[in-house]
Amino acid sequence: MHRVGKSASPPTKHEPILTLTRPGPRAARNALGRSASRHINAVLDVARETARPTIRRAQATPSGLRIIPPIVFARVCPLVLLLISGTAAQQDSDLRVQSNLVLIPTLVKDAEGHVVYGLTQKDFAIDDHGVEQTVHLDDSAQSEPASVVVAIQTGRRAWREFSRMRGVGSMLTPVFNQLRSRVAVVEFDSHVNLIENFGDDETSIDEDLKRLQPGDNGAAIEDAVEFSVRLLEKEPAERQRVLLLVSENRDHGSHFTKIHGLVAAVGSSNTVVYALAFSPSLSQVLDTERGSNRDEAHWNAPPDIVGTLLMARNAMKKNITRTIAAMTGGEYELFTSRKAFESHLVDFNNHLHSRYVLSFAPQRPHPGLHQIRVRLKQPPPGISILSRTSYWAVGPTP
């Protein structure tokens, strides 16, 4: 993938190399198909005119063999193949979504929370809507390179968390140490910006993450997740696809993504989401107790009853961040301090290549969301399994 260069002097606030806009996939594909068809026909017309004198000479030879010389193909075929390959590249992600192979990265832990290694294909069972499926285990997948999107919220009260996130770039070193692994950086408030496209330059990624700037009053989590998943879908199929999401728990201001579309995008992707979440209301209460938010707190005031009530109200509302992580079989952790944040990042690195990559091929699945369950046929006491809980089956293309 082409890497977009940066300016010689970094701006005060990141200049995004790509901003989320509303896509129109079907219209775009149709337009591309019509355009490619016109170009191919035009190329073939030129080829016929170019080749006609040569073909006539070939037909006039004593042998009477009607052979088009190879040089004509040598000139024409690369152009035709180039146009066709452009159309195929545009449709590649859709073809992957419609594949009938469901990948299920699975993390197994014992009663003490340690990762369980050494399991085989015969140890696992997968149920699709309660019906047991034939399981396949890819033993080589754990050594495959990873494509990781780091999506960080900068809007609303997220800037208060920047001091706790300090060092996130340097803690991604184990990701870069994996041969051919690549990282992209996405920042979002009410808008989603691609700050750094996929690359293996650890220094550049680290500098991006050190220059986080406060955003506006939005937290478009749903837009950011769908954008990141679509970005990962463009990566080669053999790569592990991982989204490291750092945000609060509730969406504020997504413009482009609806819940139905997000469920479909996540369910049809082989992406695992690791969520490191913060609670703005909890952070405000704790920061007041720590004395680290004197600019927004009233000192010598009564206890913050409003903040406590806000925490209780928010706890009763849907936690979109936890839900997305659970759907993909990822992990969800809440952090309230720098130490907790760094500890969870260590777990992220340790678990990145510790998953069993299971798969199965559903037979004629009905279109829509399918509930799946991974289990051990003979589970030891206290065992826990983290795996995706659903997938989205796409109906036949009209």
Confidence at residue 269, expressed as pLDDT on a 0 to 100 scale: 87
> What is the DSSP code string of 122-134?
GGEEEEETTEEE-
CA–CA separation, 4 vs 194, rounded Å? Answer: 11
| 123-165 confidence digits (pLDDT tens) | 999 999 899 999 999 987 667 899 999 999 999 999 989 988 8
Of 342, 283, 339, nearest to 310 (Cα)? Answer: 283
Rg (CA), the chain: 26
| Ranges in the chain, pLDDT < 70 | 1-15, 17-99, 141-142, 281-317, 395-398
Query: Which tokens is 108 given?
Result: 């197994």
pTM higher than 0.75: no
What DSSP letter does each residue of 32-89 carry, written as one string? HHHHHHHHHHHHHHHHHHHHHHHHHHHHTSTT------HHHHHHHHHHHHHHHHHHHH
Handedness of CA 23, 26, 31, 37 (dihedral sign): positive
Residue 188 has a pLDDT of 97
Residues 328 and 180: their CA atoms lie apart, in Å, by 23
pLDDT in tens, 208-254: 999 999 999 999 999 999 999 999 999 998 899 999 999 999 999 99
CA distance 374 to 36: 44
